[in-house]
Every structure is written in C-alpha cells, then in structure tokens.
Structure 1
Amino acid sequence: MGEPYEVGFRLGRRRSSVPRARALLHAVLGSWGVAGDVVDEAELVLSELVTNALRVRVPKDRQVGVRIVWLVEDRLLRLEVSDAGAGWPEVQVPEEGETHGRGLLLVEAVAHQWGVEKREGGIGKTVWATLKTPNCVAEAAEREIAAVTVRAGQCVRVWGTWHGVRSVSGEWRPSGGGAVVLVLDDGPALRVPAAEPLTVRNGTAPSRAGEGAVPG
C-alpha cells in the first residue's frame, strides 16, 4: 500500500476553532488534489466532530487535536478529532424542534464509517470518520503547496536545489500562525511559517551536480 498523505494540528477551545478547522481542511485537501463533493462532506463531518469535542468538559489548557489522512490506494479520507474528556459520544435522536444533538446523526449519514477509540499516548478519546474519495485528481509532478501540508518522503526545492524531506514537525498555535520544521536529507533543518508556499514533488532528490546551488 502506498504512503498515506497525513497532516495534524491542534485547536484552542473557542468557537472560532470550528471555521478554522474547515479552512485548514479545505487548504489541505486542495493541495493534495482531493476534489468533488467529498470536500464539502469532509468539511461538514469535521465541523461536527470539532464542535462535539469543544463541548466536552476538560481542563482549560487541553486543546482539540485534528488529524487528516488520505489513504490514496484505498480511496478513503480519514478524519480524526481527539479530546481529553471522559465518556464516549453516542448517536442521539433529538425531539422534534430541538436544535442540538444532531451532530453524530449527520456524521453517520454522510460518512462511510465512523467510530470512537481510546486516545493514543494520552487521556481521552479520538472520534474518527472515513469518507470515500472517488473524485480525486492526480498530483502534478511539481507543485506549490503550504508548508503545513508537506510530508516526509517528498522533495522540496530550497536554496536553489531539491532536498528530500526526512521528517516534518510543528503545529498550529491556538492563537494562529505557527511554524513547520522540515528535517532534510542534507543541510540544516528548515523552519518556515506553516502557511508559506513551498515547491515540492514526489520521488528522490536528484544529484546536486550541475544544479547551480545557491548558498543559503
């Protein structure tokens, strides 16, 4: 199976985190080449999962974790939202006229599958949902994407040459902004703003010979 596309970030416990999650999801899926109705469905599902996580009672300093994974060969998009609260959510059928309690009903109706599992490496839980992605386009050989969507195994063009990306770390700060640290196959690690555009491509970085490298 091919390497999955994956990105994660954390959100503060505030109302503005719901539209922020949608905006980040939209940017990530666009850079991956995921297209069609699945984008709208993913935004709806993620909005409901983040909204539910924000309603859970947790210590003030606990954030909401979001992880987006595209399993290309399986044609599945997996959305995960983690919180540090106790208890597991259940689908509820609200009374006629009630305006709350329909979140998981929507998730169940839209998602291919969904579930809850114990949160890895910490207290709380992770609620996940998968969506089928039949409407996808192939990636261009070389393209410009936001730094936050770069993943290990790609090549990034910096300092006038191509460098393989060994690992990616960094998270969005609750107040906005944030940075991404790219550990490259040679040279110093690269620290850039999360939204900064970088030129990337898949595959092994070519030999430096004859590329006319520009000193950093």
Structure 2
Amino acid sequence: MKPATTPPGGLVHDPAATHEFTMQFTSTPRGARLARRLVSHRLHEWGHPYDSTANETITLIAAELVANAVRHGHVPGRDFHLRLAASPAVLRIDVTDTRTDKRPCRAQDLQLPPSEQESGRGLLLVDALAADWGITPRTTAPGKTVWAVLDVP
C-alpha cells in the first residue's frame, strides 16, 4: 500500500494545473451523487471521455471520497467541498469536510473488513486505484481534506 503523504503544495492552487473545478455540495446522498456526476462530466469536457480509464477511475475515487465525507465527515449545517484539478500527467481530487474527530486510517493501517460486512472497503479501493492519497488537516477552518492523485498517460 502507498504511504499517506501530503504532496508538495498542499491544497493551494496548482500552477501546473491546466484545468480546475471547485464546488461546494450539501452533505447528503444527493450532494454526493451530484459531485460524482460533475467530476465525470468535467473530465469528459477536459478530454478524458466518459468511457476512458482515467474518467472511470477518478469518478470511482470521487464516489468513495464524497460518500465518506457525507457518511463520516458530516456536521449538521455544513457542506463538503470538492476540488478537481488536471495537469498534463496527473489528475487530483480533494474532498474537504468539517469534521475533525473522524479521520480515515492511514494507508498502511487499512484492513479488509469481514466478508459479511457491507461497508468499509472504500479507502481500500482508493488505495488500489490512486497513485497516492492521503489526509491533510485544514488550516483555515476545522476539518480535513482527503486527496488522491492519478497518473494519466
């Protein structure tokens, strides 16, 4: 499994990014569904067609991260934020919520849940699909950002 490290630059605007999309969503299943669909749509507009490996992979990673933000990072009355950035060789997604007490496990601490358990595999998927991922505390407000990057050809 990959180490959970913060890439250089943290959450600031990446000058190498050729495209960037940010949006705030309600911390509800509907907000998570809309976020996932907009990620796929933006990637398609940026030259990664809906049926491409990059689009399908980042959309799946986005689905897992926003589902976790809604399920585990929800604070009543607070939304989650999504940032998607594309550079020529890398796609990056950041999902920020306002909950500080529920932090995901680091990559090396992830364990497969019992087979009868219906949840608990999302970050294992993220770890398997992403080139790297991790957790960064927010500096301007309470909360955390879970990010993932994907190398693209």
* Matches of 2:16 and 2:74, distance apart in 1: 37
Structure with the larger RCO, 1 or 2 (CA within 8 Å, 6+ apart): 2
Distance 1:22 1:3 in 2: 20
Are 1:85 and 2:99 matched, yes or no? yes
C-alpha distance in 2, partners of 1:52/1:3?
26
2:125 is aligned, of 77, 94, 106, to 106
For residues 99-121 of structure 1, the C-alpha deviation after alignment (integer angstroms, 9 at most, x for no partner) is 11011001001111100001242
TM-score under structure 2 length normalisation = 0.80
- Residue of structure 2 equivalent to 1:96: 115
Matched length: 132
Q: Which residue of 2 aligns with 1:150?
A: none
The answer for the alignment partner of 1:37 in structure 2 is 53
SS of alignment partner, residue 133 of structure 2: strand
Q: Which has the higher helix share?
A: 2
| Percent of matched pairs sharing the same residue | 33
Q: Under a length normalisation based on structure 1, what TM-score does the superposition of the two structures give?
A: 0.57
Whether the aligned pair in 2 keeps the contact of 1:92 and 1:104 (CA below 8 Å) is no
Selected match of 1:20 from 17, 26, 34: 34
The gaps in structure 1 that reach 5 residues or longer are 135-216
How far is 1:27 from its partner?
Answer: 1.5
| Structure 1 outlier segments of 4+, above 2 Å | 1-4, 56-59
> Which whole-Å CA distance do the structure 2 matches of 1:51 and 1:39 have between them?
18
Shift in alpha-carbon separation, 1:92–1:17, aligned structure 2, 3 A? farther
RMSD: 1.6
Residue among 40, 43, 68 paired with 2:84: 68
Once the two structures are TM-superposed, the CA of residue 3 in structure 1 deviates from its matched residue by 4.6
| Shift in alpha-carbon separation, 1:105–1:23, aligned structure 2, 3 A | same
CA separation of 1:58/1:30 partners in 2, compared to 1, >3 Å: closer, same or farther?
A: closer
Residues of 2 paired with 1:50 and 1:3: CA distance? Answer: 22
Gaps of 5+ in 2: 1-14
- Whether 1:50 aligns to 2:81 is no
Residue 26 of structure 2 aligns with an amino acid whose one-letter code is: G
Instruction: Tell me how far apart the structure 2 counterparts of residues 127 and 16 of structure 1 sit (CA, whole Å).
Output: 20
Distance 1:109 1:13, change over 3 A: same
